[in-house]
Structure 1
Amino acid sequence: MNAPAAPALVLRAASLSPRSLDREARTVEAVASTGADVERLGFTERLPVAAADLRGLEGAPVLDSHRRMSVRDVLGVVEASRIEGGNLIVRIKFSRRAEVDPILDDIEDGALRGISLGYQVNAWKDERTAAGRVIRTATRWTPKEVSIVSVPADEGATIRSSAMPENQITQDRPATPAAPNPAPVTRAQVNAEIRSIGRLAGLEAGWADGQIDAEATVEAARAAAFDAMATRSAAPIRTQRATILHDNDAPELRGERMGEALYARMNPSHQLSEPARAFYGMTTVDMARDMLQRAGVSTTGLAPAALVTRALHTTSDFSIILGDTVGRTLRAAYSAAPAGVKMAGAQTTARDFRARQRIMLGEAPSLEKVNEAGEFTSGTMAEAAESYKVETYGRIIGISRQAIINDDLGAFANLAARFGQAAAQFEAQFLVDLLLANPAMSDGKALFHADHGNLAGSGAAPDDTTLAAARTAMRRQTGVSGERIAVTPKHFIVPPELEETALKLVAAITPAKTDDVNTHTNLSVIVEPRFTSATAWYLVASPSEIDGLEFAYLEGAPGPQIESRNGFEVDGVQIKVRLDFGAGFVDWRGWYRNAGA
């Protein structure tokens, strides 16, 4: 089974090779990928090195821990790459900026040995093991960047002890094998490469023109670009620019991006937004460390439990992150829950919590012949009114500190999904209770009443005869001003005990003669398991044709809403689920009831 490719940037880690470090040239070799399996949430990822498209890897940036917020995060560039012994080998050239020197010192001392490969999967192939585990194999993937990281994850990566032979780097790259007598590089190609370097570095066209006029080599231009970026980064920040933030730098936006990244780990089918990709793969502990560091708190030597505890007491970002994650999961479960009677109602909004007065206009007055003098007479429209109001319902749930430390995404997902289902269940039960209560209308009579012409005189099971009688009763309904309105039934609502009967009654058939024609095929069957009666059934008109059951949410807040805060009563994060909801029948003419037999 071929799964659709998701253009998400994924991360893998491997090892640096300190003994291949050339301090003077500022280069080092690394095993970027061995193709080892990596356990992801819900599946095992397999990344064959032979399936990699390396054409864009040379010249790709080398970053500090996948950060892309500033040019200071660019530590260098991938100078060359090749595949050797099933491993992806890269040679990294570091910037000459002074702040990069400590990283080179750590590599030389062996204290910093990990790199992480950022890549994009272009095509997947899914298989399932005998034990039921899904194996997702990338049949085409493209490396996008390489990052220096503190902890490597690709344990099968080898550590190189010598420099990569220059003549093998190009020969072993699968996309462009070297010819026996390679053509010489022209000046036009060099100039084009220099302009490309300038664009990648964000430099003005005049910079590239100056390099070309000086007949600089590609290597010299690249070094000059690093120097230019370093000079630009070191420039003092003007006061008027202090309020300009990258999207992911704003605390609330950053929390939402992290929350979306956590949600994507729980739901691999979710398509990550571009700003959230920077946080994909981070655990809750990683996010705690990031929050503290951005708040200016030192995290050196802190264990995972201490990181989470300090983050809970130092910043409110955890509540933002988990609130976003829970909210996305809750809304997905809420939307997927069976709706029942709700499908036959009309959704609207209320501006506030006051009683909502629904004015129903009668039929327009009939037209009259205009006399010879051209005088038009005035007509009036009858009115009727019903009312209901929106009220607030909700609960508070807690996500424990232990679950956060354990990065227990399953607990988050299950908790949020159940509350989403509970919110949908509450709405469905609310509407069923309202229907079964047979509420009084503004004329003082019950919703289903003989005087309203929408109640069968005696209960009977649904069949061709009783359905035809219900249709006739709805067709003979009169409006507010007494005119015939010929209501058309749309929904056939039944309890589970009548589901089979209802489906057979509305099933399309190919008649052999006119008497066999099924006149009920336009009805949509709705099965409502919350009905207390096993025999009562209803015919309902479309709410787009005539008013009937109406449910409302507070304006700007449809469905359950989420608020979150770092917990005081609980040791963790508290999530408040709020639902502003109300419903009422604003007309009886579109609903018909038969008590059944």
Structure 2
Amino acid sequence: MYRHQPAPQPATLDLPVQHRGAAVRAASYQEADNTIEIVWTTGAKVRRVSWVDGPYDEELEVSASAVRLDRLNAGAPFLNTHASADLADVIGAVVPGSARIERGKGVARVQLSDAPADADIVAKIKNGVIRNISVGYRVHTVMVTERDGEPPLHSVIDWEPLEISAVPIPADPGAQVRSEAETFPATISKGGRKMPAANPNPAPAAVEAERVRNDIIADLATRTGQVALGKEHIASGTTVEEFRRVLVERLAEDQERDFPSNGARHLGVPATVSDDSLDHRRARAMESAIAHRVDPARFKLEAGAEHYMSSSLLDLARRSIEDRGGRTYGMSKMQIASEALAQRSGLHSTSDFPTILSNVAGKSLRAAYDAVPQTFRPLVREVTVPDFKDVTRASISEAPQFEKVNEHGEFKRGSMSEGAEKYRIATFGKIIGITRQALVNDDLDAFGRIPRAFGIQAAQLESDVVWAQLLANPTMGDNAALFHANHGNLLTSGAIGATTVGEARLKMGLQTGLDGKTVLNLTPSYLIVPKALEIQALTFLATISPTQQNDAVASVLKNLTLIAEPRLDLGVARYNIAGDQHSYYFAAAPAYVDLIELAYLEGAQGVYTETKQGFDVDGVEIKVRLDVGAKVIDWRGLSKNPYSG
């Protein structure tokens, strides 16, 4: 558990086994029982590097309350340089009950091996040639303190030694390379107080730089399963940048060997990345941080995102490149932006940044799309269609009437009457470009305002498609217009009032099924008006009161739900359909009769985005697409009053 002061919401991370250097007390060797006393920790401050936080200083609290000694006192292993892949790696064991805390130091007595294979190492320990000790431990609780001008201080106040090793160099980062990258959960809280910059670390700068180099190389090698390669380059003094290049080449060679490029399977580098991988969690945290900067109220920070809140888009681009083994040293801002947005064949991409940015833009777009009010929603039934061919939608009438079955008689088969309406969906869309300039300028409009505008346009398109059906008065499957005297749904012109509403109830209630016999008994549930008539409609509905003795229809008229839509006034410019500020409509509840069907392409319901390397723009292009169509299916639940004012 990581703690700040004060501690906000915690987040759980998996932390690797850590290692610390200490010393052997050669003079304490006892020939009789082949044991030697060691100091396995002093708690001294050590510079470390986290792949999430970057550099930080770690300081162990060495006290009886902070150190869990159970494992050591149960006979924890004494290993050769933290190796644990084989029993031969064990060169001794902690004497049970000997581990203790003395004056701020961790002390224990170790029983050395007397096996011939271990004789050389044991002899060097007894003679004082090997005198460096490193402890491998698990962190349980850490208090994190931010410091001005320095990396944060991680004060470990609850930790558990797991094993002790003899090592060539105390606090040797190379010793962190283990055959299994074992990790343990810890809880991290961020956002605590800062403390003034402390005095510089007394260790020479060159030594600290070397430790950081070794830390990074060891971590890279462990995560990619190239432990031996990491040890080799730690020893040879290879720089981090050069090791990343060598590592990528080695991984590519291994991939080509296991999955030849002429084979049926081709994977990028790294070969596989699971959703729970560190790379995926880091990319998700970057995505959350950018989205939160774009719209703090709508997008909350996810775990780990707080680490990137102060980073510019260019900083995140640089980090994304380096996390994938790329090098940015000496690059200009524009070069970093170009590299981060580049798509490569084979290796997929030099970074995860194109995906991160397109996801943020997609979130902004979808959020705006979902937030736009659409007055048509109560009137439609959403469906999906498999392709762009004509859809033949049957308006199914009532089931055939039951017939009496005489004694010993047979049941007769019935058939359903159908009326067919045809329509098809169409594709609408635009392309958003995310350019190098947007990254260099830290321009959040490319991920906020612009995608939001596209999302709003997608929602407006759906409204255009639906309301155009009423305004266009389309020809139905029987070759008559939607609102036509033959359909019994074209009312007598008149202002909104009890008389006109009463006529709508009468005509809708007299509608019959497709067989012309069955009574549907429909009633208007919605009063649909242009904005110009909204106040008139509200006034009419407000004056209806079931408590008035002289208003016999008050209770039934009160059930009308008002829908006011500006497209009825203005028309739908997309389809060159004029509006009408005076006509108004009635609709039954769609649960009882088909009204309007709103169709999307299967697998792409609502607004859909996809990303590719830009051709028209110098960067990444995001295609925003909407595959949609609408059609009135049955006229029986709709009626129109062609009022002229």
Q: TM-score range by the shorter chain?
A: 0.5 to 0.7
Residue 477 of structure 1: CA displacement? 0.9
Cα 1:404/1:347, change in 2 over 3 Å: same
- Map of 2:433 onto structure 1: 398
> Does the C-alpha gap of structure 1 residues 464 and 92 become closer, same or farther in structure 2, counting only changes over 3 Å?
farther
* Native 8 Å contact 1:318 1:566 kept in 2: no
2: CA distance, partners of 1:276 / 1:583: 41
| 1:82-102 CA-partner distances (Å, limit 9, x unpaired) | xxxxxxxxx98556xxxx68x
Could you tell me which residue of structure 1 aligns to residue 515 of structure 2?
Answer: 481
Evaluate the alpha carbon distance shift between residue 371 and residue 215 of structure 1 in structure 2; reply closer, same or farther with a 3 A threshold. farther
Q: Cα gap change, 1:443/1:69 in structure 2, threshold over 3 Å: closer, same or farther?
A: same
2:286 pairs with 1:258:
yes
Query: Please, which of 268, 273, 278 is the counterpart of residue 296 of structure 2?
Result: 268
Q: Deviations over 1:536-586 (max 9, x none)?
A: 111112222211111111011111111122322212322211110111111
Contact kept? 1:362, 1:480, Cα under 8 Å: yes
Which residue pairs with 1:148 in the alignment? 55
Letter in 2 for 1:491: Y
Residues 168-190 of structure 1 show CA distances to partners (whole Å, capped at 9, x for unaligned) of x99xxxxxxxxxxxxx9589975
Q: Match for residue 491 of structure 1?
A: 526
Deviation of 1:314 (Å): 5.8
CA-to-aligned-CA distance 1:17-49 (integer Å, 9 cap, x gap): xxxxxxxxxxxxxxx98xxxxxxxxxxxxxxx5
Cα 1:410/1:220, change in 2 over 3 Å = farther
- Between stretches 218-227 and 255-264, larger displacement belongs to 218-227
1:466 corresponds to 2:500: yes
Does residue 309 (structure 1) correspond to residue 343 (structure 2)? The answer is: no
1:567 pairs, out of 610, 614, 623, with 614
Counterpart in 2 of 1:434? 469
Residue 292 of structure 1: CA displacement? 1.8
Native 8 Å contact 1:549 1:584 kept in 2: yes
Kept in 1: contact 2:545–2:558 (CA 8 A): no
**Alpha-carbon deviation of 1:468?**
1.4
Q: Given the alignment of the two structures, is residue 529 of structure 1 paired with residue 566 of structure 2, yes or no?
A: yes
Aligned equivalents of 1:533, 1:349: Cα separation in 2: 31
CA 1:487–1:237 in 2, change beyond 3 Å: closer, same or farther? farther
**Structure 2 contact 434–621 (Cα < 8 Å) conserved:** yes
Q: Distance in 1 between matches of 2:304 and 2:558?
A: 49
Computing the radius of gyration from Cα coordinates, the structure with the larger value is 2
Aligned residue among 70, 75, 79 for 1:191: 70
Classify the secondary structure of the residue corresponding to 2:368: helix
Find 1:581's aligned residue among 622, 625, 628. Answer: 628
Q: Determine helix, strand or coil for the equivalent of 1:580.
A: strand
Q: Give the percent of matched residue pairs that are identical in Structure 1 and Structure 2.
A: 34
Distance 2:485 2:608 in 1: 41
Inter-CA distance 257–387: structure 2 relative to 1 (3 Å threshold): farther
For these two proteins, the number of residue pairs brought into alignment is 447
Structure 2 equivalent of residue 21 of structure 1: none
**From 288, 297, 303, the counterpart of 2:326:** 297
Matches within 5 A, 1:351-430: 351-430=386-465
1:36-95 Cα offsets, whole Å, 9 max, x none, are xxxxxxxxxxxxx5x4589x9xxx99xxxxxx68738x6889xxxxxxxxxxxxx98556
Q: Which secondary structure does the structure 2 equivalent of 1:245 belong to?
A: coil
TM-score (norm. length: structure 2): 0.60
Please state if 1:245 is matched with 2:292: no
Q: How far does the alpha carbon of each residue in 1:473-500 deviate from its partner, in whole angstroms, 9 at most, with x for none?
A: 1111111122110113222111111111
1:407 shift after superposition: 1.9
Taking a change above 3 Å as real, the CA distance of residues 385 and 488 of structure 1, as seen in their structure-2 partners, is: same
CA distance in 2 between counterparts of 1:308 and 1:338 reads: 37
Distance 1:416 1:92 in 2: 52
Q: Secondary structure at the match of 1:519?
A: helix
Q: Report if the CA contact (8 A) 1:432-1:530 is conserved.
A: yes
Q: Give distance in 1, aligned partners of 2:357 and 2:557.
A: 49
- Tell me which amino acid in the other structure corresponds to 1:71: P
For 1:256-284, what per-residue CA distance to the aligned partner results, in whole angstroms no more than 9, with x for missing partners? Answer: 65334321222224244557677555432
What SS class does the counterpart of residue 225 from structure 1 fall into? strand
Between 1:447-456 and 1:244-253, the stretch displaced more is 244-253
Separation of aligned partners in 1, 2:440 and 2:452: 21
CA distance in 2 between counterparts of 1:462 and 1:148 reads 73
Partner of 1:64: none
Query: What is the rounded CA distance, in whole Å, between the counterparts of 1:471 and 1:263 in structure 2?
Result: 50
Q: Secondary structure of the equivalent of 2:557?
A: coil
| Residue 216 (str. 1) matches residue 88 (str. 2) | no
Q: Report if aligned partners of 2:431, 2:624 keep a CA contact under 8 Å in 1.
A: yes
Alpha-carbon distance between aligned partners in 1 of 2:66 and 2:359, rounded to the nearest angstrom: 53
Q: Assess if the C-alpha contact under 8 Å between 1:362 and 1:381 holds in 2.
A: yes
Give 5+ residue unaligned stretches, structure 2.
22-41, 109-133, 139-161, 164-175, 182-220, 228-253, 259-269, 569-578
The residue aligned with 1:6 is none
Match in the other structure for 2:137: 225
The one-letter amino acid of 2:383's match is T
Shift of 1:507: 3.5
SS in 1 for 2:567: coil
The answer to whether the Cα contact below 8 Å between 2:19 and 2:135 also exists between their aligned partners in 1 is no
Cα distance per residue 1:498-547 (max 9 Å; x no partner): 11122233348654433343432222211111111111111112222211
After TM superposition, give the deviation of residue 371 of structure 1 in Å: 1.1
* Counterpart selection for 1:542 from 586, 589, 596: 589
Mapped partners of 2:464, 2:107: distance in 1: 73
TM-score when scaled to structure 1?
A: 0.64
Secondary structure of 2:550's partner?
Answer: helix
Partner residue in 1 for 2:383: 348
Cα deviations across residues 398-426 of structure 1 (Å, max 9, x unaligned)? 23322222222244211011111111112
| 8 A Cα contact 1:382 1:480, kept in partner | yes
Deviation track 1:173-214 (CA, whole Å, cap 9, x = no partner) reads xxxxxxxxxxx958997539999x99xx9x99xx9xx87944
Partner SS, residue 634 of structure 2: coil
Query: SS of the residue aligned with 2:620?
Result: strand
**Distance across 2 between alignment mates of 1:244 and 1:188:** 38
Paired residues of 2:432 and 2:451 also in contact (CA < 8 A) = no
Alpha-carbon distance in 1 for matches of 2:496, 2:71: 79
**Paired residues of 2:313 and 2:439 also in contact (CA < 8 A):** yes
Q: Distance in 2 between matches of 1:194 and 1:400?
A: 60
Aligned residue identity for 1:263: A
* CA deviations over 1:439-472 (Å, ceiling 9, x no partner): 111111011111111111x321111211111111
Change (3 A) 1:254 1:187: closer
Task: Mark the CA change 1:393 to 1:220 in structure 2 (over 3 Å): closer, same or farther.
Answer: farther
Structure 2 counterpart of 1:423, which letter? A
CA distance in 2: counterparts of 1:290 and 1:328, whole angstroms: 22
Partner of 2:364: 329
Letter in 1 for 2:295: N
Contact 1:292–1:298 (CA under 8 A) maintained in structure 2: yes
Alpha-carbon spacing, 1:509–1:584, altered in 2? closer, same or farther (3 Å): closer
RMSD: 4.5
Gap change, CA 1:324 and 1:93, over 3 Å in 2: farther
Aligned residue for 1:302, secondary structure, equals coil
Question: CA separation in 2, counterparts of 1:291 and 1:454?
Answer: 63
Q: In structure 2, the residue corresponding to 1:403 is in which secondary structure?
A: helix
In structure 1, distance between residues paired with 2:364 and 2:618:
22
Residues 283-309 of structure 1, C-alpha deviation per residue, up to 9 Å, x if partnerless?
321221123223432112334333112
Question: Contact 1:505 / 1:520 at 8 angstroms: preserved in 2?
Answer: no
Contact 2:428–2:626 (8 Å) recurs in 1: yes
